[in-house]
């Protein structure tokens, strides 16, 4: 598969999980550039700190819920107030929780595009690319 | 305490019996007395009539037939009164004065008898007869009065004794109440208080057990939930390892990797099952469930396995029951999956599901023609993670029937199995009709755990 996406941001406090997700994405071939952050604050700092080519703008952000310092919900709130809820970025909440409260909460937030269970699999990636990036790519 | 109570009752019964026996005895005595007095009184009347009869015979020279009869009666009664024979229904007169007085009257009787024999032979000496009867009368009067006096004395004695017995009974009853029944009541009250205290303790113990149980359930839930993540990580890493490095491994390394893979997959499945088990009953909404509909859905879900084994699943009329739908479905699904699974290779599984209506519950049966269960194992199979077959023979984690048992429990029922090795088995389970009356499973708030 061609590299349809420029970059993906993975936010999870578990390094092993980040490593696995990174591997799955690389193996899938959807994206070459992957950035990993270990908590919400780190991820927010990354997104709000400009580099040589301006603010980093990943196509997809995968966010875990339970994290130290700033958890998934906290990160999303900060993100929403900084960039607005209609950001073009696709934010996917990844969780082990089967908890319906989490699911309801995630669905009520506009900024979240998807709510998926871990682990990230090639199938999930396929679905997301198909759903959000196929048409876009063709227009480009 | 018990013996005292019985003792009290015995005393009461004895008292009543003694009273009754006394009254009965003296009533009989009084009756005989009255009889005696009556006969004695009648003797006076007879003596008068005999006198009159002699006068009539003298005047009219009629047949002495009636006179003979009267004299015979008079004589018989006279000696009856003196007799000590009890068979003539008279109390023998024991008073010696009266006996003597009666004996003194014997010549009077003998005189009349001799006069009666003289009838027709010589002329009657009416004045002598008159004199004889006149002397008999006051003496007999005296005897009757003496008899009456004795009888009256007896009555006085009866009344006095009755009063005495009555007061004795009253005193004994009062003593019984004071020394037996009041202490018994006291100790009964004490025992009652103790029982209610013990009941209270039991209730508390039950509540605390319930609480501990829920804590344990929570621990199971949290542990299995939290274990999922690291197990999944290991699982994923093993997979990556396989993809990235398997070609660099020698045969032994690949074997080890395969074992690692199987072990982690199994661990993942066990944890998933444990989590599912701990979630049973957390969703409380009970709805009307059409069992036949549930079986249709399960048949579709298990279509692959059913087609593969050419299994025949049948059921007749099944009821609509009240329950938690997802869990009733799990219950049927586990039982049917088991029936499909535990079969001899190449054997066509036949499964029949039936329901019988009982007063308070529905009794369901799920019968199969599978390998059956050894009788020593029929109870073990319902405990969690219990397996009676090796993993390579029949796959599974061994939690399916524990699930079933928990689901049935939540629906106020019981589950058991009847089986003969090699001849299939029949699972029985009950579902209570009135789901509101189930005790032991109080409303529980859903566990709140984030990822």
Contact state of A16 with B233 under an 8 Å Cβ cutoff:
yes
Per-residue pLDDT tens digits for A117-129: 888 888 999 999 8
- Range with top average pLDDT, A2-11, A80-89, A100-109, B68-77: B68-77
Residue B246 lies in a domain: no
Domain boundaries, given as residue ranges, for chain A: 5-139
Segment B74-89 shows an average pLDDT of: 78
Lowest-confidence pick of A13-27, A82-96, B248-262, B339-353: A82-96
Packing angle, helices B96-104 and B106-118, rounded to 10: 20
Residue B325 lies in a domain: yes
Q: Are residues B288 and B170 in the same domain?
A: no
CA distance B378 to chain A (A): 35
Q: Which residues are registered as beta bridge partners of A35?
A: A9
On whether ipTM exceeds 0.95, the answer is: no
- Range with top average pLDDT, B51-60, B115-124, B430-439: B51-60
In the listed set B141, B166, B184, which residue is the last one of a domain according to the structure?
B184
Residue B224 lies in a domain: no
Per-residue pLDDT tens digits for B340-376: 988 888 889 999 999 999 988 999 999 999 988 888 8
The residues, ordered by sequence, that sit 6+ positions from B61 with a Cβ below 8 Å of its Cβ are none
In the listed set B120, B149, B184, which residue is the last one of a domain according to the structure?
B184
CA distance B438 to chain A (A): 27
Does residue A13 sit at the B interface (CB-CB below 8 Å)? no
**What's the confidence (pLDDT) of residue B88?**
63
Helices (H) and strands (E) in chain B, counts: 11, 7
**Where are any strands of DSSP class E within chain A?**
5-11, 31-37, 60-64, 90-95, 114-117
Residue B133 lies in a domain: yes
Nearest to A96 among B237, B448, B451 (CB): B451
B161 falls in which pLDDT band (50, 70, 90)?
confident
Contact state of B451 with A16 under an 8 Å Cβ cutoff:
no
Residue B351 lies in a domain: yes
**What's the confidence (pLDDT) of residue A136?**
52
Lowest-confidence pick of A28-37, B37-46, B208-217, B389-398: B389-398
Q: Are residues B176 and B28 in the same domain?
A: yes
Contact state of A96 with B225 under an 8 Å Cβ cutoff:
yes
Contact state of A16 with B237 under an 8 Å Cβ cutoff:
yes
pLDDT above 70 (res B89): no
Does residue A20 sit at the B interface (CB-CB below 8 Å)? yes
Does residue A64 sit at the B interface (CB-CB below 8 Å)? yes
Query: Which position has the higher pLDDT, A18 or B276?
Result: A18
**What's the confidence (pLDDT) of residue A140?**
40
d(C-alpha B79, C-alpha B85), whole Å: 11
pLDDT above 50 (res B6): yes
Fold of A5-139: Rossmann fold (3.40.50)
User: What residue numbers bound the domain in which B382 lies?
Assistant: 283-443
Residue B119 lies in a domain: yes
Quick one: which of A25, A29, A27 has its CA closest to A3? A29
SS3 of B284, please?
A: coil
Per-residue pLDDT tens digits for A40-98: 999 999 999 988 888 888 989 999 988 888 889 899 999 988 887 666 788 999 887 66
Q: Are residues B176 and B295 in the same domain?
A: no
Query: Which position has the higher pLDDT, B395 or A56?
Result: A56
Residue B20 lies in a domain: yes
Which tokens sit at B267?
């661990």
Per-residue pLDDT tens digits for B263-309: 898 888 888 888 888 877 776 678 899 999 999 999 998 888 888 88
Contact state of B448 with A119 under an 8 Å Cβ cutoff:
no
pLDDT above 50 (res B445): no
Residue B222 lies in a domain: no
**Minimal-distance CA residue of chain B relative to A96:** B451
pLDDT above 60 (res B451): no
Q: Are residues B176 and B292 in the same domain?
A: no
Q: Are residues B139 and B12 in the same domain?
A: yes
The CATH number of the domain holding residue B287 is 3.30.565.10
Does residue A50 sit at the B interface (CB-CB below 8 Å)? no
d(C-alpha B220, C-alpha B208), whole Å: 18
Number of folded domains that form chain B: 2
Per-chain mean pLDDT for chain B: 85
B388 falls in which pLDDT band (50, 70, 90)?
confident
Q: Are B361 and B322 in contact (CB under 8 A)?
A: no
Segment B316-334 shows an average pLDDT of: 90
CA distance A48 to chain B (A): 26
In the listed set B120, B153, B184, which residue is the last one of a domain according to the structure?
B184
Between the two ends of chain B, the Cα-to-Cα distance in Å is: 66
Does residue B240 sit at the A interface (CB-CB below 8 Å)? yes
């Amino acid at each position: 598969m061609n590299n349809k996406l420029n970059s993906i941001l993975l936010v999870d406090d578990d390094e092993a999980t980040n490593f696995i997700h990174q591997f799955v994405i690389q193996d899938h071939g959807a994206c070459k550039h992957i950035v990993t952050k270990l908590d919400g604050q780190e991820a927010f700092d990354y997104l709000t700190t400009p580099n040589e080519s301006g603010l980093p703008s990943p196509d997809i952000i995968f966010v875990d819920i339970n994290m130290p310092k700033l958890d998934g919900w906290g990160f999303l709130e900060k993100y929403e107030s900084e960039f607005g809820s209609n950001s073009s970025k696709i934010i996917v909440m990844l969780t082990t929780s089967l908890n319906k409260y989490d699911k309801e909460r995630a669905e009520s937030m506009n900024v979240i595009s998807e709510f998926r269970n871990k682990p990230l699999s090639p199938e999930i990636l396929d679905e997301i690319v198909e759903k959000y990036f196929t048409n876009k790519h063709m227009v480009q | 305490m018990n013996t005292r109570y019985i003792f009290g009752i015995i005393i009461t019964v004895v008292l009543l019996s003694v009273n009754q026996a006394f009254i009965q005895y003296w009533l009989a005595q009084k009756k005989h007395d009255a009889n005696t007095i009556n006969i004695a009184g009648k003797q006076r009347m007879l003596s008068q009539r005999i006198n009159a009869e002699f006068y009539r015979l003298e005047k009219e020279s009629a047949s002495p037939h009636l006179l003979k009869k009267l004299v015979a009666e008079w004589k018989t009664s006279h000696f009856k009164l003196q007799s000590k024979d009890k068979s003539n229904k008279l109390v023998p007169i024991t008073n010696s004065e009266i006996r003597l007085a009666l004996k003194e009257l014997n010549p009077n009787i003998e005189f009349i008898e001799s006069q009666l024999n003289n009838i027709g032979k010589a002329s009657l000496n009416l004045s002598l007869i008159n004199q004889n009867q006149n002397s008999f009368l006051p003496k007999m009067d005296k005897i009757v009065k003496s008899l009456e006096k004795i009888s009256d004395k007896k009555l006085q004695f009866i009344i006095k004794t009755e009063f005495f017995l009555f007061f004795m009974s009253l005193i004994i009853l009062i003593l019984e109440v004071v020394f037996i029944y009041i202490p018994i009541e006291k100790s009964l009250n004490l025992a009652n208080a103790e029982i209610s205290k013990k009941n209270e303790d039991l209730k508390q113990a039950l509540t605390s057990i319930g609480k501990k149980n829920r804590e344990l359930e929570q621990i199971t839930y949290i542990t299995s939930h939290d274990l999922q993540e690291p197990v999944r990580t290991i699982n994923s890493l093993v997979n990556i390892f396989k993809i990235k490095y398997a070609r660099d491994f020698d045969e032994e390394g690949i074997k080890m990797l395969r074992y690692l893979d199987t072990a982690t997959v199994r661990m993942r499945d066990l944890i998933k099952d444990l989590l599912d088990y701990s979630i049973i009953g957390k969703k409380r909404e009970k709805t009307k469930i059409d069992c036949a509909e549930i079986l249709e859905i399960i048949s579709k879900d298990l279509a692959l396995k059913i087609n593969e084994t050419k299994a025949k699943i049948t059921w007749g009329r099944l009821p609509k029951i009240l329950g938690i739908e997802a869990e009733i479905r799990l219950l049927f699904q586990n039982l049917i999956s088991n029936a499909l699974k535990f079969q001899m290779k190449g054997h066509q599984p036949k499964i029949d599901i039936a329901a019988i209506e009982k007063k308070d519950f529905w009794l369901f049966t799920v019968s199969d023609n599978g390998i059956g269960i050894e009788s020593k194992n029929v109870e073990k199979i319902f405990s969690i993670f219990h397996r009676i077959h090796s993993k390579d023979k029949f796959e599974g984690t061994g939690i399916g029937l524990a699930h079933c048992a928990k689901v049935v429990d939540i629906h106020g029922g019981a589950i058991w199995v009847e089986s003969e090795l090699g001849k299939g088995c029949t699972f029985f389970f009950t579902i209570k009709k009135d789901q509101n009356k189930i005790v032991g499973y109080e409303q529980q708030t859903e566990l709140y755990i984030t990822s």
